Amino acid sequence: MIVRRLLPAAFLVLAGACSCRGAEPSPAAPPAAAADRPNAILISWDGLSRDVVRELLKDKKLPNLAKLVEAGSFQEITVKGHETETRPGHAEMLTALSADATGVRSNYEGGPVPEGTVIFDRLKAALGKDAVATIVVTGKAYVGSLVPDGSRKALDLFDAGSRGAATVGPLALGALEKNKARRFAAFFHFLDPDSAGHGYGRDSAQYRQAAVTCDAWLGAIADWLKKEKLDGSTLIYVMADHGMDPGGHQHHNAPDSWLATNDKTVIRGGTIADVPATLLARMGVDLKTLKPELLGKPLVGKPAAEPAPAGERKTPAPVSTP
């Protein structure tokens, strides 16, 4: 009798324990990053020419970018398939898609990119909504305007506006601090080099100083990662959406972009789309499953000169523009 009387009570305790566990969305917070499950930070230094980056690296003016390159590599990225302007450059950077697919061929053509095509949508779809925190902070409102409404809502943090590094830098650090418990993927956009290039010209000291300012914020991000012990598990990709015309104040024909990364698996340069494709692949997205098919191919593994495996599209020819 005693046993029979005790059983229901024991059952209730167990059932209670079970339903309690079941009521929680997950037994523990989604795991944070690890070396084989990295975070990624994609940073755009708007309008900074490849040769000026090289000059500043040579003159040791960009110590934090130099540290990335030392850990990984510096690669040449070429802007193809659209105008060498901010919106099409970032549309490609945020989707790994062609201008045909996004409809963004110049600053004046195309609205937001299609829903579901932003790299952060791809990450949430592939890894799970709660498995990765996604962050977008921009220094130009119209870079933010590339992100469609649904994609904005899906982001854990979206902050777009027109402001310089003195504002974007602290916002970026705050966004990381707020989302550090989970794996994260972030995009930070610094307008300063483009702004100084238009104002003072590509050959000016101000253009170079803007790069130095961006580098200081890269250093602040790197220091924060180190403090949080995330430096070994966070891939950083720093690049530009376009360059600046030699001797000029504009970027009518400025396809010379670049990539500096601590990602040791990156072994070649390519086009803008290849960088977000690399980020997605390194975070664990199976690129073959994505629709529409990405223009970008990861800059990892076999050199571009080797034939692609059967069934894999080679890097497509640039889209011709009138």
Chain positions contacting Zn ion, by CB under 5 A? 47, 194
d(CA 121, CA 284): 13
Minimum CB distance to Zn ion smaller for 47 or for 81 = 47
Shortest Å, Cβ 161 to Zn ion: 17
Query: From the CB of 146, what's the least distance to Zn ion, in Å?
Result: 15
Q: How far is 259 from 304, CA to CA, in rounded Å? A: 16
For the CB of residue 280, give the shortest distance to Zn ion in the complex, in Å. Answer: 27
Separation between Cα atoms, residue 247 and residue 46, nearest integer Å: 17
To Zn ion, the closest distance from the beta carbon of 110 in angstroms equals 17
CB of 52 to Zn ion, least distance (A): 14
* Residue at 210: amino acid letter: A
Q: Judged by CB, which is closer to Zn ion: 213, or 262?
A: 213
Given the complex with Zn ion, which of 57 and 244 has the nearer CB atom?
A: 244
By beta-carbon distance, which residue lies closest to Zn ion? 194
The answer for residues whose C-beta is within 8 angstroms of residue 237's C-beta and 6 or more apart is 40, 41, 42, 43, 259, 260, 261, 263, 275, 278, 279
Nearest CB to Zn ion, comparing residues 47 and 148: 47
CB 26 within 8 A of CB 220: no
Q: Which amino acid is at 317?
A: A
C-alpha span between 239 and 78 (Å, rounded): 11
192/194 with CB nearer Zn ion: 194
CA atoms within 13 A on the CB side of 67: 13
Beta bridge partners of residue 238, listed in sequence order: 43, 260
Instruction: Quote the least distance from Cβ 182 to Zn ion, whole Å.
Output: 34
Amino acid at position 232, single letter = G
Any idea how long the chain is? 322
Q: Based on CB atoms, which residue is closest to Zn ion, 47 or 255?
A: 47
Q: Which residue has the tokens 């105008």?
A: 83
